[in-house]
A and B are shown apart, each in its own frame.
Chain A
């Protein structure tokens, strides 16, 4: 029975061919894997395999270059948008994108991010926001929610002591240079499809020379949050989406 169905002509979904077979180092249930798949699928659909250049950050996604079979450049911590600017200016026909976490983009790389977006560089920034420093052991990030417990704020983020979380995507939407600014998530099948469309649109905008694009993906870090993958998805829906509302913020 099952053998009759499992034939190459009946295949409806498989791992994108652009993704390498090497096992990913991410924790079980990590959102990074889903976003990697989406990027690989979009590049395949756009037939840009030979012309895509990614800039990988410092953070959990530092090894992104091992997983998607395109050209990659590793940037110093937070400097990915600067490097992407250089690559895009030297190779205007290339699809250039950066892939950054919240520690990389919203903390050490705030200046690079804002200025690259404001200059209207024809690049796409994929911003993975999981409200925590995942790789280094779950410390408080600029995007950590008020009251959220992390390794460095065990009693919860206190506004008087730590200030407010930073909404980078809202800031980016106000900049003249940005063409498309959106916030998506990858917790359900519907959300994943929407996120894929957003990434596709951002990539197309950058190739059409419309300006810079920012796609924020609100993600989970189940190891850092100390929850199971399914519980962290629920927690994200209940807590993160209240503060980080999903949807397009700017579409020029």
Chain B
């Protein structure tokens, strides 16, 4: 079976830390930072699990600010 691998790129300066992408991700790949903040003072989303993302784009679909780009490859 072909393995699907995905990756997300979060525009951390645009992110407002609403946490909706974290909730939407079926594989719990994303998480908000606990200490780091962006220029506006928001905790931003970032990938915390390597090689887990499948590129389903659920996070990017629910993101109200369009901060997330999703990439996907089939191997």
Contacts and interface: CB of A to CB of B under 8 A. Distances in A.
Contacts, number: 91
Given A2-B7, A12-B55, A15-B66, A228 B19 contact: yes
Contacts of A6: 7, 9, 71
B18 interface: yes
Given A10-B72, A229-B19, A30 B24 contact: no
Contact of B60 (A2, A13, A28, A29): A13
Nearest to A40: B66
A176 B29 CA distance: 49
A192 B7 CA distance: 21
Interface residues of A, number: 35
Nearest to B5: A5
A239 B19 CA distance: 22
A165 interface: no
A33 B66 contact: yes
A102 to B, nearest CB: 18
Contacts of A13: 57, 60-61, 68-70
A245 interface: no
B17 A34 contact: no
Interface of A is mostly: mixed
Contact of A188 (B16, B18, B42, B62): B62
A45 to B, nearest CB: 15
A242 interface: no
A6 B55 CA distance: 11
Contacts of B42: 28
Contacts of A16: 66
A31 interface: yes
A11 B69 contact: yes
A230 B23 contact: yes
B28 to A, nearest CB: 14
Contacts of A30: 64
Interface string A1-32: 11011110011111110010001101111111
Contacts of B48: none
Contact of B16 (A1, A15, A28): A28
The 10 closest A-B pairs by CB, nearest first: A33-B64, A29-B18, A15-B66, A28-B16, A28-B18, A13-B57, A5-B7, A14-B69, A13-B70, A10-B71
Interface of B: 5-7, 9, 14, 16-20, 23-24, 42, 50-51, 55, 57-58, 60-73
Given A6-B9, A27-B16, 7 more contacts: A14-B70, A16-B66, A26-B64, A26-B65, A29-B16, A33-B66, A34-B64
